[in-house]
Structures are given as structure tokens and as C-alpha cells.
Structure 1
Amino acid sequence: MSTYDEISKAIAAHGQWKQKLRTAIDTGECESTPERVKQDNNCSFGKWLHERIDLAAKESPHLDTL
């Protein structure tokens, strides 16, 4: 899978996660805990960001914006 495809897939998964979060906010019900939700490495994008990108990309000044 290309990097572009990995990023696209991760962004789509993040969109689904945001919808679950919005539903939890609206209904007051959630299958997860605040401790788990606040971690930024549980979703596909977070895993890609923390585990898959190379060292040069991690040192980029754009990483904080991302």
C-alpha cells in the first residue's frame, strides 16, 4: 500500500472516530473511556503517525501542526 493510500485510509478512519465521538457527546453514551479517547495513538492515523513515518518526517517542523 502506498503512503498516500495509508494516509487516506487513516484519515477516513479518523472521520469515523470523530462521528463516534460526536454521537457520544450527543447521547452521553460511549463504549470507551476518557483515558483511552485522549490518547493520540489508538486510531489508524495515530498509529501511522507514531509508528510508520520515518525519522526525517518526525523531525519536520510540520509534525506539530499535523
Structure 2
Amino acid sequence: MRTNIVLDDKLVEEAFRLSNAKTKRELIQLALEEYVDNRKRKNLMDLKGKIQFADDYDYKSMREGI
């Protein structure tokens, strides 16, 4: 999708310093991917305390194969 936007120059410069992006397009793509990943993670955090596990559930035994 092609679009024109006005970006804060100082923010763009700082983002370039903190990333490996070579172009503004690459920088924006990376920023959008990180934003989406972060929001998904926050949505999972909303589930805290809402999931009940079986009394005999042993997460440690499942990790032994790793």
C-alpha cells in the first residue's frame, strides 16, 4: 500500500540509530512489525488469571524434553 505521511525527523533519526534499517521503507516496516508483535503480547497478558489448569498439570515435566 503506497501512502504519504509526515514523520518527526528526530524520531526517524533515532530509529535509524537503533535499528539496522537502511531505508525509511524498511524502518517503517520494522516498526509496524514490532508494534503488532507488542500488541499481540499485551493481548496474551490480558488472559492472566483467567485460565485454570488441571490440578495435576506439571509444566516442569513438559520442559524436561527441551
Query: Do the structures match in fold with TM over 0.5?
Result: no
Q: TM-score normalised to the size of structure 2?
A: 0.36
The higher relative CO (CA closer than 8 Å, separation ≥ 6) is in 1
More helix per residue: 1 or 2?
1
**TM-score, structure 1 length as denominator?**
0.36
Work out which of the two has the higher radius of gyration on C-alpha atoms and give 1 or 2.
Answer: 2
